[in-house]
Amino acid sequence: MKPVKTLLCVLILGFIMACSKDPLGTNSLKDSRDGKIYEIVKIGNQTWMAENLSYLPSVSPSSVRSLTATVYYVYGYEGNDVASAKQHPNYKVYGVLYNWDAANVSCPDGWHLPNDEDWKSLELFLGMSESEANEEGTRDSGSVAKKLKSTELWDVFGSKGDNSSGFKAIAGAYLDNNGFGNERLGYYCTFWTSSTIGPSYAWHRFLNYSEDGITRGNYYRNFGHSVRCIKD
């Protein structure tokens, strides 16, 4: 093979490999605040993060709660040092837990915390019946949670996900009045919405290791939950 053709083949191969990794392509988002690159996925007419948000400007132990200030947590970390928190294995795998106020201001530019209607649109697209979409509690139609769950990082004895949506929900647990608690990683995950109920509560989505349905409920806004941002 002539040198020019060889060089051309190398350049083409390099381009194909770069595109397959897609570091900053149509399937990726770079957060300019910290350089974090997130995988993203289009589901119906919506574009979602396919990873939990990891933005961490500050960090607090589980004993710190607030309904009026932004508070950030890393599951299992009980300190105040951001650098140390980012070295915690749970940060690297599961991202950050946010109280509701922090969740509302932490998505990168061009993205926002989804509201309750955004989640309903996702659920309907994945097969939930319209009669269930507005109900509170676990909605089983469409097996939406199974389609949202990653095939990894869920309890091996539970109801595994098939990730047919590409959403890759992982069981990153949550923070409530009992603190981080025990035996939550691998079993549950909870995502905030921006939709409130009165001065102290907000709607959320809850996925359980043992169920294919997805729960629509409300929690105190000073609890810590995961965040998936949606594109504006």
Largest CA distance in the chain: 72
A 10 A CB-CB count for 127 gives 11
Name the token pair of 110: 């061009």
Helix, strand, or coil (residue 153): coil
pTM of the shown model: 0.88
Q: Which residue has the tokens 């509690």?
A: 137
Q: Where are the domains of the chain?
A: 24-231
DSSP 92-122: HHH--EE-HHHHHH-SPTTEE---HHHHHHH
**CB under 8 Å to 199, separation ≥6 — which residues?**
67
- Confidence at residue 156, expressed as pLDDT on a 0 to 100 scale: 81
Contacts of 204 (CB under 8 A, 6+ apart): 190, 191, 192, 193, 216, 217, 218, 219, 225
What is the reported pLDDT for 183?
Answer: 72
Q: What is the model's pLDDT at position 17?
A: 38
Task: Give the Cα separation of 42 and 20 in Å (integer).
Answer: 17
pLDDT tens digits for 109-150? 999 999 999 999 999 999 999 999 999 999 999 999 999 999
Question: pLDDT digit of tens for each residue in the chain (232 aa)?
Answer: 444 443 444 343 343 334 344 445 579 999 999 999 999 999 999 999 999 999 999 999 999 999 999 999 999 999 999 999 999 999 999 999 999 999 999 999 999 999 999 999 999 999 999 999 999 999 999 999 999 999 999 988 887 899 999 999 999 999 999 999 877 899 999 999 999 999 999 999 999 999 999 999 999 999 999 999 999 9
Looking up tokens 């605040």, which residue turns up? 33
Per DSSP, the residues of 18-69 read HHHH-TTSTTEEE-TTT--EEEEEEETTEEEESS-----S----TT---SSS
